[in-house]
Amino acid sequence: MLLRHFDKTFTAWEEKNAPRDFVVTEVSGSSVVFIDSANPDKGFLRYDTSKEDTLEFFDHEPDGSVKFSLTFYREEK
């Protein structure tokens, strides 16, 4: 997974030709774990769909504690 960060003016944090490259390290029925290939010891990202109609994103420290999280809910129709 290639990732680029942007500020509120859509200016990228990373160099133009250097997005962050994350590789999958673990997959289960409801989650996927990624590490930054350039910084594998700096923590990991986890996407989780174990809650119905919900996608949760977690940015973990190397010790497994959560640095921050985002939760997305499916909009009701």
CA–CA dist 74, 54 (Å, integer): 6
pLDDT (0 to 100) of residue 54: 94
pLDDT (0 to 100) of residue 39: 87
What domain range includes position 59? 2-73
Number of Cβ atoms within 10 Å of the Cβ of 35: 19
Residue 69: φ, ψ to 5°: -140, 155
Joined together, the tokens standing for residue 63 give 């010790």
pLDDT (0 to 100) of residue 51: 93
Q: Total structural domains in the chain? A: 1
CA–CA dist 54, 73 (Å, integer): 5
CA–CA dist 63, 42 (Å, integer): 9
pTM here is: 0.76
In tens, the pLDDT along 2-53 reads 777 788 898 887 777 777 788 999 999 999 999 989 889 999 999 999 999 9
pLDDT (0 to 100) of residue 31: 95
